[in-house]
Amino acid sequence: MPAFTAARLLTPHQIIEQPWVLVDQGHITEIASRDVRPLPAGTSPVDLGPHVVAPGYVDLHIHGGAGYDVMDDTPEALPAIERLLALHGVTSYFPTTVTAPLDLTLRALERLALAIEAREQAREKNPPAKLANAQSPGARARPLGIHLEGPFISHARRGVHPPAHLLPPKLETFERLWQAARGHIRMMTIAPELEGALELIGAAAARGVCVSVGHSDADFSSVQRAVDAGARHATHTFNAMRPLAHREPGIVGAVLTDSRMTADLIADGIHLDPAIVKLIAHAKGPDQTVLITDATAATGMPDGRYRLGSMEVDVKEGRCISEGKLAGSVLTMDRAVRNLALFAEWELPLAVGAASRNPARVVNINKGVLAPGADADFIVLDDEGHVLRTFIGGVECAK
């Protein structure tokens, strides 16, 4: 079985110098330092060079990439997106819907559920190879659940979500969405101030959905009631939210001060000023700060016109614009990690944790850490955080 070696390993909460990582059938069986123990006899060393091994990144909020949207009705869409994600260090992701006509959303949820189940079935039938020192065109980021962004959001803070297709939070509507997704909805963004929202938050949380407040004009007390009902996260903090004011802290004030909540952010330097990124990171700390990309079909593509769900988005010089408003991003997770480290003045391990361990904790999945028993989803970084290689289940993703 292969034993991967490098200069350093980030678990990410611990740094191991001169590590070796033993992998068998896609899982990590042992991790140690060569300074303490030599490689076990009978292993096949795979030298990753003078670099850093870190957990694969988890993106909770992504709409597309490589010219495709996750809601596209074409078999080429998800594989193309997943290959691009892997190139930038993302090994697991949550395809994110955007508000659209209900019938279109239901069909998209059905397709995404099929894709999630097909990948899981394929993994069970064809477990990762014992030796993982060859690149595989089949190794790409895996969808682990669906993030439902809309339709239960505020008209006042809808961003570019089409107003005609926003819906009031009703249990029967959520049930239709849940059934179409066959229970694969793992995250839902909702405006907690809407009538019926608290009941829906409680029902969704009871099914194991991570309920996230966002696209919301809520005041401080409304968010507190939502957290009491089961909400525990915030979607792209500051963006599409009532602004923070010193006498009316609102949703942002609640998110930044409530220790029961984790918060995600888009660290592209466009959605948030670097000083605000630093503010969020310092307010929530290294365990509750979560990086997302909110990436669109334009990610990895030249400037031009692309689709976000049923909408058209114009992309120029890194900005995605629709109706004169920001509409997602072209951010990649590796750049988000480097930006967070720069903007918040964090060391690389803390920024890596915000893209790996923290998002995995938000949705309660066993990802984002390197430890015995964990999936061998890891990346190879240089000292500045650029992704050099990506391994999923111990198998390297082809470039």
Q: 58 vs 55, 70, 294, 317, 376, CA distance in Å? A: 9, 16, 12, 26, 14
In a domain, 196, yes or no: yes
Q: Among 378, 373, 388, which residue's Cα sits nearest to residue 25? A: 373
Strand order of the β-sheet with 44-47 is 27-33, 19-24, 2-5, 44-47
In a domain, 247, yes or no: yes
In a domain, 50, yes or no: no
Cβ within 8 Å of residue 175, ≥6 positions away: none
- Is residue 272 within 8 A of residue 287, CB to CB? The reply is no
Please give the Cα distance from 125 to 131 (Å, whole number).
Answer: 17
**Whether residue 303 lies in the annotated active site:** no
Count of domains forming the chain: 1
Active-site position among 258, 294, 334, 375: 294
In a domain, 177, yes or no: yes
Say if residue 1's pLDDT is above 90. Answer: no
Q: In this structure, which amino acid lies at residue 144?
A: L
Q: Helix 274-284 vs helix 333-344: angle between axes, to the nearest 10 degrees?
A: 80
Domain range for residue 106? 57-366
* Predicted pLDDT of residue 134: 53
Residue ranges of E strands in 225-340: 233-234, 262-266, 289-292, 304-308, 311-316, 319-322, 325-326
Please give the Cα distance from 349 to 5 (Å, whole number).
Answer: 18
Report the CATH number that the domain containing residue 352 is assigned in CATH: 3.20.20.140
In a domain, 4, yes or no: no
* Predicted pLDDT of residue 359: 98
Token output for 58: 């988890």
Query: What are the backbone angles phi and psi of residue 213, rounded to the nearest 5°?
Result: -85, 135
In a domain, 30, yes or no: no
pLDDT in tens, 139-152: 899 999 999 999 99
Token output for 112: 């995404």
Token output for 299: 């990610």
- Is residue 200 within 8 A of residue 193, CB to CB? The reply is no
Cβ within 8 Å of residue 79, ≥6 positions away: 140
* Predicted pLDDT of residue 125: 75
C-beta atoms surrounding 290 within 10 Å: 27
In a domain, 246, yes or no: yes
In a domain, 191, yes or no: yes
347 pLDDT band, cuts 50/70/90, is very high
79 pLDDT band, cuts 50/70/90, is very high
* Predicted pLDDT of residue 124: 76
